[in-house]
Amino acid sequence: MKKIFLTMFVALFLMPFMVSAKELEPYYTNMNGAELTEQQYNNLLRAFSKDTIATMTVDAINQLKDNENLKKYEITKYIQIDEFYNASGSLISRLEKEVTEGDAKEFVNKQKNQVKTIATSYTDTHTTSMKKVTITLSPGMGLEIWATVTNTWLSIPSVKSFDVVAMRPSTNSSILVASVSGYQKADNTTHKYDSKSSNTKLNSGGLGISMNIDNAVTSTLECSITAQFSGYSTTVFGVYGTYQHATSDVSLSDSQNYSFGDGYGHVLKFNGSVSSKYDQMGGVYAQIDWLNI
């Protein structure tokens, strides 16, 4: 009897400490192997998209996952691009303008309803495309800023080569750039990048990732870059972001033939003839004032 009682006592004592195998499993594991509980994943969702979280470095995840006060400051632009080609297919002119979110949604609805955005005459062809470009800044636990620039195509581009998504700090002082990640999501396929990728160009002046657009993409296309900035000495810190689309075929080396500065989108200064192979789209800018957050 004592033996049975002792066995029951030990079992009851251990029950609160017994954890099922399911409870020990992580709620979420990203593409780089970073593991998160449900609370940690929800923490990150306050400042980052699901696709950004999926491709962030393990180091970035570990720095941010337990921060329950993450917030984001976001700027979004919708850009319409009209291109005019002559009968031989050469580009005559290109017009870019910022439109409202309503205009962009109307464009997307026309695409869904298969309304043509290509007008053809005997002499030329006119095409219209649309992009959504967003820059997001998120303060970290210390005096670092996490920045993300994302370009979402609202219509799939006809030219698929090395596009460049890039950003640079607004200050000219020496800035530390770390925990670089990026992705190209083409339909349901995700291509990820980091600081070690040959597609990545990185120095204290900024960073850029050249993304070879997936030839198989048919319906949705998004390209994004994320990094941590630190080492600045001002209370106001800003980041310029840009997405440059290759309008003709370029190599990886050509796509990286640039320096960081007040060039396309206030970020990229392409060298030589390479500059004519990109669409020269304007950029986005956001800043954080540490005294007012």
Per-residue pLDDT for 51 more than 60? yes
> What is the C-alpha separation between 53 and 29, in angstroms, rounded?
10
The tokens for 216 are 């198989």
pLDDT digit string, tens, across residues 194-204: 999 999 999 88
Asked whether the predicted pLDDT for residue 14 surpasses 80, the reply is no
- Please give the average per-residue pLDDT across 268-280, as a whole number: 93
Which is more confident, 138 or 87? 138
| CB distance 210 to 163 below 8 Å | yes
Q: Token pair of 175, please?
A: 């800035």
- Average pLDDT over the chain, rounded to an integer: 87
Cβ–Cβ contacts within 10 Å for residue 260, how many? 22
- Helix and strand numbers (H, E) in the chain are 7, 17
Rounded Cα distance, 285 and 266, in Å:
9
Whether the predicted pLDDT of 13 surpasses 90: no
Distance CA 67, CA 12 (A): 36
Predicted local confidence at residue 9, as pLDDT: 47
Could you give the CA distance from residue 287 to residue 230 in angstroms, rounded to a whole number?
A: 14
What is the structure's pLDDT at 113?
Answer: 60
Q: Going from the N-terminus, what domains does the chain have, and what CATH number goes with each?
A: 73-77+133-292 (2.60.40)
Name beta bridge partners: 93: 84
pLDDT of residue 86: 80
More confidently predicted of 127 and 222: 222
265 class by beta-carbon count within 10 Å (0-12 exposed, 13-18 middle, 19+ buried):
buried
Give the model's confidence band at 271: pLDDT under 50 very low, under 70 low, under 90 confident, else very high: very high
Higher-scoring residue by pLDDT: 222, 130: 222
Average pLDDT over residues 254-277: 95
Instruction: For 209-248, give the DSSP string.
Output: EEEE--TT--S-EEEEEEEEEE---SSEEEEEEEEE-BSS
5 band by pLDDT with thresholds 50, 70 and 90: very low
pLDDT at residue 215 tops 70: yes
Q: Rounded to whole angstroms, how far apart are CA atoms 226 and 109?
A: 30
- Asked if pLDDT for residue 119 goes beyond 80, the answer is no
pLDDT value for 231: 79
Taking residues 161-178, report their average pLDDT: 87
285 beta partners: 240
Instruction: Tell whether the model's pLDDT for residue 99 goes beyond 50.
Output: yes
* pTM for this entry: 0.86
The answer, yes or no, to whether residue 216 has pLDDT greater than 80, is yes
- Are 217 and 211 in contact by the 8 Å Cβ rule? The answer is no
- Percent of the chain at pLDDT > 90 equals 62
Phi–psi pair at 2, nearest 5 degrees: -60, -35
Q: Which among 66, 16, 30 is positioned nearest to 46, based on CA atoms?
A: 66
Q: Compute how many other C-beta atoms are within 10 angstroms of the C-beta atom of residue 252.
A: 13
